[in-house]
């Protein structure tokens, strides 16, 4: 029950630079529009796309930095991902329920699948992939998987482990990157995104969801597993799991950053997703196994679908949206 992706955004100086740069870009864009209008010539699509691209690039590169405290926390464990009896044992056993959940949900949504490789042709992005614990079983089901993680040591571990299997080596690629950093190159690229034990570590959850939407194809699926913010989750997830039983390394979680399912659903729905499933999950530390349950009071899994293709926004709408997002992105500095 822990993820490995954490974001922290720019300090005051960087935020001021971003605001200045964005304002200048927008002013330059507006000036071009006015100039073209006054000369009765149409604005070229190339110039519009260039302006939008410039703003997107400014936006993404200014807000891709990863919290150094979280990086150090997980770097100490980067070589232990594939120790099934070690610190990541609970994540290994979680595969027993999360992999079938992803597989069966996708198969129920499509009649086109291949025996033996049921997810063949499906492009999956595994956000916060760590050492590849979820990427590999999805690759074995036939999916084409891209795993991203901001910690290079995690990616090295993942790359080394997949190299033992020639089939996986062809189906999986790993990148040392944050989600924001790949938005530019991966707009509406993936059929599926999995973010397992990740969202409780991000600094700006809504920005994270917006980025997921941008790299996901219309009607694509988003799978999230995370921890509810309840008294019970504090007792079991932190006191028992971290401090008493040592199932999870102490300091892995901050209860304040746990996400209630109601909040996650609200953010998903307000950003163009339709929530299809919310299932409670239970970990038994004595047997080391996971099972599904009705209650979402501790761990839970969500499946949401991005809305279908709508009318493409105009360049001015796209710029307005980016400008309106900017203050919220620089506000999430607490970790």
- Spatial distance between the Cα atoms of 121 and 123, rounded to a whole number of angstroms: 6
**Cα 213 → chain centroid:** 10
Q: Say if residue 197 carries a ligand binding annotation.
A: yes
Q: Say if residue 219 carries a ligand binding annotation.
A: no
Q: Please measure the distance between the N-terminal and C-terminal CA atoms of the chain and give it in whole angstroms.
A: 18
- Name the residue with tokens 């974001």: 7
- Name the residue with tokens 């304040």: 256
- Spatial distance between the Cα atoms of 257 and 255, rounded to a whole number of angstroms: 5
- Name the residue with tokens 């042709």: 121
Q: Say if residue 98 carries a ligand binding annotation.
A: yes
Q: Say if residue 332 carries a ligand binding annotation.
A: no
10-33 b/e (C-beta count within 10 Å ≥ 16 → b): beeeebeebeeebeebbeebeebb
- Name the residue with tokens 């760590």: 130
Q: Which two tokens stand for residue 239?
A: 């006191």
What strands lie across the sheet with 289-293, from one edge to the other? 172-176, 144-149, 123-127, 190-196, 216-227, 299-306, 273-284, 289-293
Q: Say if residue 297 carries a ligand binding annotation.
A: no
CB 315 within 8 A of CB 190: no
Q: Say if residue 200 carries a ligand binding annotation.
A: yes
CB 112 within 8 A of CB 122: no
Interior CA angle at 202 toward 306 and 332, to 5°? 105
Q: Say if residue 180 carries a ligand binding annotation.
A: no
DSSP 267-322: HHHHTTEEEEEEEEEEEETTTTEEEEES--SSEEEEEEEEPPP-PPPPHHHHHHHH
Q: Which two tokens stand for residue 294?
A: 């009705």
CB 116 within 8 A of CB 137: no
- Spatial distance between the Cα atoms of 151 and 142, rounded to a whole number of angstroms: 26
Residue numbers belonging to the annotated binding site for Mg(2+): 197, 200-201
Residue numbers belonging to the annotated binding site for S-adenosyl-L-methionine: 98, 128, 149, 196
Residue numbers belonging to the annotated binding site: 98, 128, 149, 196-197, 200-201
């Amino acid at each position: 029950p822990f993820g490995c992706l954490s974001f922290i955004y720019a300090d005051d100086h960087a935020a001021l630079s971003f605001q200045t740069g964005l304002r200048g870009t927008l002013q330059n864009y507006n000036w071009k529009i006015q100039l073209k209008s006054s000369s009765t010539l149409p604005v070229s699509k190339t110039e519009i796309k260039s302006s939008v691209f410039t703003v997107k690039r400014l936006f993404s590169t200014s807000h891709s930095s990863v919290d150094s405290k979280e990086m150090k926390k997980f770097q100490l464990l980067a070589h232990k991902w594939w120790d099934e009896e070690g610190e990541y044992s609970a994540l290994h056993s979680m595969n027993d329920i999360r992999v079938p959940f992803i597989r069966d949900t996708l198969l129920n949504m499509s009649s086109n699948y291949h025996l033996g490789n049921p997810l063949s042709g499906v492009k999956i992005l595994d956000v916060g992939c760590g050492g590849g614990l979820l990427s590999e079983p999805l690759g074995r089901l036939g999916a084409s998987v891209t795993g991203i993680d901001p910690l290079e040591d995690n990616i090295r571990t993942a790359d080394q482990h997949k190299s033992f299997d020639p089939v996986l080596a062809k189906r999986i690629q790993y990148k040392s990157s944050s989600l924001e950093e790949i938005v530019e190159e991966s707009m509406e690229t993936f059929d599926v995104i999995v973010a397992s034990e990740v969202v409780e570590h991000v600094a700006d959850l809504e920005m994270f969801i917006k980025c997921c939407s941008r790299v996901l194809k219309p009607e694509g699926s988003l799978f999230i597993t995370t921890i509810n913010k309840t008294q019970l989750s504090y007792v079991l997830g932190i006191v028992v799991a971290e401090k008493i039983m040592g199932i999870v390394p102490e300091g892995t979680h901050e209860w304040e950053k746990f996400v209630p399912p109601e909040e996650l659903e609200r953010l998903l729905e307000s950003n163009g997703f339709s929530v299809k499933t919310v299932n409670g999950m239970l970990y038994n530390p004595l047997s080391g196994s996971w099972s599904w349950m009705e209650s979402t009071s501790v761990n839970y899994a969500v499946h949401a679908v991005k809305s279908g293709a709508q009318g493409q926004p105009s360049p001015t709408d796209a710029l307005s949206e980016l400008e309106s997002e900017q203050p919220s992105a620089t506000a999430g500095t607490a970790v």
